Structure 1
Amino acid sequence: MKKLFLGRQIRSLREKAQLTQRDFAERLGLSTSYVNQLENNQRPVSAPVLLTLSERFGLDLASLSVDDDDRLIAALQEVFADPVLAGAAPGLQDFKMVSQNAPDFAHALVRLHQAYRQMGEQLAQFDDRLARDEGLARPTPYEEVRDFFHFENNYIHELDLAAEELATRLSPSGRIFARDLAQYLEERHGIAVERRRAGTAGEGAIRRFDREQRRLYLNEALPESTIVFQLAHQIALLEAGDIVEAVVARARFQTSDAAQVARIGLANAYAGGLVLPYRAFLSAAQETRHDLDLIADRFGASLEQVAHRLSTMQRPRLKGIPFFFARVDRAGNITKRHSATKLQFARFGAACPLWNVHRAFESHGAIIRQLAETPDGSRYISLAAHVVKKSGGYSGPVLHYAIALGAEIAHARDIVYCDDLDLTREAAFEPIGVSCRICERLTCPQRSVPPLNRAISIDSDDRRLVPYAIR
């Protein structure tokens, strides 16, 4: 069981109560030196002390999570893998201390490194126009919002609760139909829903709301699961505004563009909670042992919607299995990503070519499986599938993506896709990494670039699959 270090939280509780360490220790029935060690993360918090802190000082036990620290530690490790910081190699304990005692500092350092990397990449392209742009060093709005959701564990509690409450009122069974949401929009907001061909609503159009006419136009070529989601998104824009604005204010985005992107993302989060309400969805996932097709059939949802929702099941005291989720295009770009596991996706560059998500494009209509092991020794079951998105007739755009969903192998008994796999055979687990530039596997035949923190040597008389040796 992972040890729990809560130095920053304990110090905050003591300072809020306006107590010295000695007085605080007396209230807890501990020695002053013990409290000092707890506050400086020199000792983990025991279960009895945890309960005492909850009873006497109101510590919210449901809010405690080591997952946030894991994600922040992984981000810091990637920062210090950059060769610009060569010679500065903090140990794991140092990373833990910073993430637990000074998380704001750690987040700022990650953002600073992201800005540095972005500037370097843009300068490398000799783009003079961008070089004169004063906003060069900032992350793009989408990157900033992606990081926000990442550190929120892709779960916004107040939005999810509000969405679930409405879903329960609309459909006690848990399944929401398009007619339910269309009727609700008309009765509650006086908005008529009309389905049109894409050509009459604009090339590639999905949803358009005419505020003056109080009409919501939807592309009739869209699958029913997308229609339902877009109706739910419109309800979010109409009813969840106060919650959305409070979350945006809390996030303190650097630009107004990022704030606007976040509003859309938060409306999508509400829509996901409405279409796939938390408790009903969690129950279905556990009952089917996370069979994606069965869950999709039960809720009338798409495979991607189900996989994405599984990665958000992090409600305090009612958590599901921690999953990672990603969506990749044909060029290998990760267009959606989230991980509630220790596996963290590369912030820069392409994903590991050995990951089965790339093979999904070759397996139409099938969910392919992979037992994978990352360089830190963690083992996962990774599921991947090819998804196609259409929005028109013969000449309409067709988008191709691969989605990946995975969990640590410790959860195998609760995942139906593991049933006939030999989890005891070492060779069954394929070695994968996060990205080549930070991967420590020195003999990988698929390596595209050397690790950032390693030197290379080239022997003109000895040509291997990878044209250099890593030192």
Structure 2
Amino acid sequence: MAPKKVFAGARLRALRSQHRLTQAELAARLDISASYVNQLESNQRPLTASVMLALADGFDLDLTSLATDASDRLVVDLREALADPVFGDTAPNLQELKIVAGNAPDMARAVLQLYEAYRKGNERLAGMDAALARDPQSGVTTAYEEVRDFFHYADNYIDPLDRAAETLAGELGEFGPDRLRRLIDYCADMHQIRVVLSAPASGEKLVEFDRTSRDLWVNSHLEPTSQFFRIAAVLCGLEQATLLDQLLDQASFKAPEARAIARMGLANYFAGALHMPYGAFLRAANSYRFDIEELARVFGASLEQVAHRLSTMQRPRERGVPFFFARVDAAGTITKRHSATALQFARFGGACPLWNVHRAFEARGEIIRQLAQTPDGKSYLCLAWSGEKRLGGFRGVTRRYAYALGCEVSHAGRLVYADDLDLAKAAFDPIGVSCRICERRNCPQRSVPPLAAGISVPADRRSIVPYEIG
């Protein structure tokens, strides 16, 4: 049997690189031509016995290491990895794999490492998806989802914090354009805090509190209502620190980051309650029949702040209309969600495309209405509008959102928005929570099948959705 030819181009290149030699310098040390070295490194020619001996003598190498060919194992591993269906019909043939393993073994190993990472990541995602399909409360949650659930199961109402804010609101006095100034004066008198309103060096920073100097810097590009909110949130951390710790201890969050996120959420809750104290806000809401534009005018607040506050009005024996509230970005991602109704929002993915909140971006400056029904048979009056948040001038930061506010139709008669609607005869748009869990079989906007249902694909007919559910 003829001796096996030894191709060791990759090892020869690695050896030359280790000793920082050019091909010409290596050729001189081996007493061969530079073109011959190039052919050896590109595996166009095998190592001869004389070259192997010269390498062993000149670089103190073990001949066994040169004769051992590790590329065969690389080829086998590559063939196994590239057989995965994820590569489709693009998998290279055996000869191409041998060239890669022989000429670029580091690249081959990198491909294998990448495939291994992909496979493990896919397994983790599949396990998470399965756990969520079996039990949405299985514990596979992020810190943000833990905090969302904390507020959700409290009906988005934190009684002791809400009452503390209402007490402080009484000390600040009547509503009016000078209320921000009164809050700034209160911070100075009670906590020796100097509030500084000025433009930032970076347009994205909103607020910063220096506990040593007691300086509270607030972005002057913010609207006065947002300045009030930011100052109030900082004030909550100072005046209500003990109460915040008690609430957070009772929550028993699993994720370490959840406590910090919840503390920020509770401070923001206090700020909203201070801006629109419960009793006064509920009386005004009933008086103006929940007209959010009128409420924004009375309390000097934004529509978003008013809608958010409406979703928190769940004080025992003094409940307001149970609302849901959501904020959605241009990609359809729900970035803020609260619900005192049976309607809940998708934990993963975007919202139902049939929901009117997506049309709000096209109707800037308008509040659009929708009568909608969810798969559980509950009907809702849904309001939606869009708006911009700008910081600075022409090149300032701009964020665009759409907002949704709604309640069950049984409460719609209390809202000014239902006055000209015949709720008994009106047609209701079928909406869902998310395609992944929606049970509707004939929705033309369905993007993916529901997790809990099988599908069939008819061979001889085609509808808008290319499969049938069930």
**Superposition TM-score, scaled by structure 2 size:** 0.70
Aligned to 1:284: 284
- Give, in angstroms, the shift of residue 349 of structure 1: 2.1
CA RMSD of aligned residues (A): 1.9
8 Å contact 1:365–1:385 — kept in the other structure? yes
Q: 1:391 to 1:450 in 2, by over 3 A?
A: same
Q: 1:405 to 1:158 in 2, by over 3 A?
A: same
DSSP 3-state at the match of 1:382? strand
Aligned to 2:158: 156
Aligned to 1:302: 302
8 Å contact 2:373–2:379 — kept in the other structure? yes
One-letter code aligned to 2:432:
G
The CA distance in 1 between the partners of 2:140 and 2:431, in whole Å, is 31
- Give, in angstroms, the shift of residue 309 of structure 1: 0.3
8 Å contact 2:370–2:429 — kept in the other structure? yes
Aligned to 2:333: 333
Aligned to 1:181: 183
DSSP 3-state at the match of 1:359? helix
1:136-185, Cα deviation, whole Å (9 max, x unpaired) = x7522111111111111111100000000000111145887211111111
Task: Quote the sequence identity (%).
Answer: 54
Query: In the alignment, which of 122, 125, 145 is matched to residue 147 of structure 2?
Result: 145
The CA distance in 2 between the partners of 1:302 and 1:413, in whole Å, is 24
The CA distance in 2 between the partners of 1:217 and 1:122, in whole Å, is 44
8 Å contact 1:167–1:176 — kept in the other structure? no
- Give, in angstroms, the shift of residue 120 of structure 1: 7.0
Aligned to 2:256: 256
Aligned to 2:411: 411
DSSP 3-state at the match of 1:305? helix
DSSP 3-state at the match of 1:451? coil
- Give, in angstroms, the shift of residue 255 of structure 1: 3.0
Aligned to 1:444: 443
Answer yes or no: is 1:458 the counterpart of 2:457.
yes
Equivalent residue runs for 1:203-218 within 5 Å? 203-218=203-218
The CA distance in 1 between the partners of 2:174 and 2:123, in whole Å, is 51
Aligned to 1:40: none
Q: 1:284 to 1:327 in 2, by over 3 A?
A: same
The CA distance in 2 between the partners of 1:409 and 1:243, in whole Å, is 37
Q: How many residues align?
A: 340
One-letter code aligned to 1:163:
A
The CA distance in 1 between the partners of 2:124 and 2:199, in whole Å, is 40
The CA distance in 1 between the partners of 2:459 and 2:321, in whole Å, is 50
8 Å contact 2:203–2:391 — kept in the other structure? no
Aligned to 1:195: 197
Equivalent residue runs for 1:220-369 within 5 Å? 220-369=220-369
8 Å contact 2:290–2:416 — kept in the other structure? yes
Aligned to 2:371: 371
**Structure 1 stretches of 5 or more lacking a match?**
1-118, 127-136
DSSP 3-state at the match of 1:147? helix
Aligned to 1:385: 385
Q: 1:342 to 1:120 in 2, by over 3 A?
A: farther
8 Å contact 1:225–1:302 — kept in the other structure? yes
Q: 1:280 to 1:224 in 2, by over 3 A?
A: same
The CA distance in 1 between the partners of 2:151 and 2:123, in whole Å, is 24
**Superposition TM-score, scaled by structure 1 size:** 0.70
DSSP 3-state at the match of 2:316? coil
8 Å contact 1:357–1:402 — kept in the other structure? yes
8 Å contact 2:371–2:428 — kept in the other structure? yes
One-letter code aligned to 1:213:
S
The CA distance in 2 between the partners of 1:227 and 1:211, in whole Å, is 19
8 Å contact 2:169–2:274 — kept in the other structure? yes
The CA distance in 2 between the partners of 1:378 and 1:120, in whole Å, is 37
The CA distance in 1 between the partners of 2:250 and 2:231, in whole Å, is 27
Aligned to 2:36: none
- Give, in angstroms, the shift of residue 203 of structure 1: 3.8
The CA distance in 2 between the partners of 1:234 and 1:453, in whole Å, is 45
Aligned to 1:86: none
- Give, in angstroms, the shift of residue 430 of structure 1: 0.7
Equivalent residue runs for 1:117-128 within 5 Å? 123=125
Q: 1:172 to 1:121 in 2, by over 3 A?
A: farther
The CA distance in 2 between the partners of 1:367 and 1:381, in whole Å, is 12
The CA distance in 2 between the partners of 1:122 and 1:396, in whole Å, is 40
The CA distance in 2 between the partners of 1:279 and 1:121, in whole Å, is 52
DSSP 3-state at the match of 1:332? coil
- Give, in angstroms, the shift of residue 256 of structure 1: 2.8
Q: 1:120 to 1:152 in 2, by over 3 A?
A: farther
1:380-406, Cα deviation, whole Å (9 max, x unpaired) = 000011021112221121011111000
Answer yes or no: is 1:171 the counterpart of 2:173.
yes
8 Å contact 1:456–1:468 — kept in the other structure? yes
One-letter code aligned to 2:387:
V
